[in-house]
Chains A and B, each alone.
Chain A
Amino acid sequence: MEEARIDIGYVAALARLELSEEQLPKLQKDLDNIVGYIASLSELDLTGVEPTAHAAALTNVWREDEPKPSYDRDRMLANAPALIDGDLIRVPQVLPGEGSN
């Protein structure tokens, strides 16, 4: 078997993605294939070429710092998976320690 090009377990941990055992062999094969393909860029001499981050050359777009009405709070919160008292988003405990929500 060819050597794996990409350590899927490590990358999935960085991306916070749970993968099932059944998914792994196919993902490994697909990604190794794709990484092998994109490695073709290494054959180009890119000395002195500036990178392009963006197609439009806009920089420093400013706006006036004026208070304006924002979106309706209740409608925004209506999409939250869990609420406390109707106006706080309930999340799992973030820092270890005593007590929990």
Chain B
Amino acid sequence: MAIPETKGRPIHALAQELASGGCTAVELVSTYLSRIDAEDGVIKAFLKLDRERVLRAAEESDRRRAAGKTLSVYDGIPIGIKDCIVAEGETCSCASKILEPVVSPYDSTAVARLRAQGFIPFGRLNMDEFAMGSSCENSAFQKTANPRDPQRVPGGSSGGSAACVAASFAAGALGSDTGGSIRQPAAFCGIVGLKPTYGRVSRSGLVAFASSLDQIGPMTHDVEDAGILLDAIAGHDPMDATSLPDPAGGFAEAARNAPESFRGVKIGLPKEYFAEGGLAAGVEKVVRESIEKAKSLGAELVEVSLPHTKYAVAVYYIIATAEASANLARFDGMRYGKRVDGKDLVDTYFKSRGEGFGDEVKRRILLGTYVLSSGYYDAYYLRAQKVRTLIRRDFEQAFKQCDVLLTPVTPTVAFKFGEKSDPLQMYLSDIFTIALNLSGNCGISLPAGLDAESGMPVGVQLLAPAMGEAKLLGAAQTLMR
């Protein structure tokens, strides 16, 4: 039996190996399973992995290939799935006790579209409960470790997905990004993470956290892979009323055909993102090196301003928690999920939710309920929606002066478990990622280098206007050359 090289190996290379007969899908999947057996005891990226099912899917893929009937060149390649993106016949707990018993009767659109190309949905990946968190420490079940240093967090909320890719437990993964939940863990683990334009990828079958912000996206070894997975999952879906009708595709090609240089490209540097004291020295050094690299590749650097940046965290934690408090009202222990019997109906609601949700989820439901409650709505929620308009306009103005923005992803490298116990401090660390969700534009986190002191990966972020993924991936590929 052939043992294909899978460590750090991108999807496009594995597709070639499968096409040339260098290995079979069963051999490929078995190689990942062996590594998971050896290493996931420490990393703890997977909540569940149905080995028989993925091996069966690999056998089916090999039969299709032998018959010359592959679904795409990617047929047989395993992709890990964050636990809030449902897959038929698999659990979808969102790393929460309240959904622990639930098995999804259907596929999310993103997973169905992966299957349609022959990709094998591969296990259920750990996350912060209901995607609320920046470290994966809020999972009700386990703490995922950063494969670069198991003493440190992988980031969150898509920490399981980032760890899965960084540890080469699958060829790529899907995550979801509401305030940076793809880009921040990608930066912490040294991989590529893409948040598409709001509406690019169907949210059907993504368990809702904050519906006006949530977006599914790829987490991969390289930029071309991010394009490959986006090609597979993007595009209009009648099952999601917020899905954009615009045609989607050609993203992998945009990465493959990226120009060698940045000649004629204007890269904006938002001055608020480089404010004095906002970045750890080691992170700033790596980000500055990326800027120098862009310049040496011919980019014209432009200083721009996003003047309402300092309000983004406040706006986000009002809007996201308000939407979450409404979305999570459906988990009442009646139709599905955990039920804890009380003395009557209302008491059953209280107990089911009280025992089913963890501390951070409770904190956010309470905050969201508060900002929507009578007497506070205008002061918080409506006001936040207005500032959201200002933040959106900031980006519109900035993109008149440049093609893409280049920014840090996180103020620091991955921190150690338990290091951030104050929720507000944890929220403030999202400062560089959340404005993009409020504005709805697209962005990508790229591994830019290592922090000299800790040896941990540092990410750099490129941001582009809505529907600008092709341009974004092209620029990302040029920068990564």
Q: What B residues does A30 contact at CB under 8 A?
A: 363, 422-424
A6 touches B370 (CB 8 A): yes
Query: Number of A residues whose C-beta is below 8 Å from B?
Result: 50
Interface status of B248 (Cβ within 8 A of chain A): no
Asked if A41 meets B336 with Cβ closer than 8 Å, knowing A34-B427, A49-B390, A93-B344, the reply is no
Interface string of B237-261 (1 = CB under 8 A from A): 0100110100000000000000000
Grouping DSSP codes into helix (H, G, I), strand (E, B) and loop, the A interface class, with mixed when no group exceeds half, is loop
Asked if A17 meets B314 with Cβ closer than 8 Å, knowing A31-B363, A34-B423, A81-B337, the reply is no
A80 touches B335 (CB 8 A): yes
B424 touches A52 (CB 8 A): no
Grouping DSSP codes into helix (H, G, I), strand (E, B) and loop, the B interface class, with mixed when no group exceeds half, is helix
Q: How far is the CA of A54 from the CA of B342 in the complex (A)?
A: 38
Which of B103, B348, B387 sits near A41, CB closer than 8 Å? B387
Q: What B residues does A44 contact at CB under 8 A?
A: 311, 383, 387, 390
Q: How far is the CA of A50 from the CA of B314 in the complex (A)?
A: 18
Interface status of B38 (Cβ within 8 A of chain A): no
Stretch at the interface among B67-75, B167-175, B283-291, B353-361: B353-361
B424 touches A42 (CB 8 A): no
Interface status of A1 (Cβ within 8 A of chain B): no
Interface string of B310-345 (1 = CB under 8 A from A): 010111011000000100010011111111011011
The smallest C-beta distance from A70 to any residue of chain B, in angstroms, reads 10
Q: What A residues does B366 contact at CB under 8 A?
A: 6, 8, 11-12, 15, 17, 27, 31
Which of A51, A63, A72, A81 sits near B333, CB closer than 8 Å? A81
Which residues of chain B from 353 to 410 have a CB within 8 Å of any chain A CB? 353-355, 357, 359, 362-363, 365-367, 369-371, 373, 379-380, 382-390, 392
Would you mind naming 18 contact pairs between A and B with Cβ atoms under 8 Å apart?
Answer: A15-B369, A16-B332, A16-B349, A17-B357, A18-B355, A19-B354, A34-B367, A37-B314, A38-B317, A38-B371, A41-B311, A46-B387, A49-B386, A52-B389, A54-B212, A79-B102, A91-B345, A92-B342
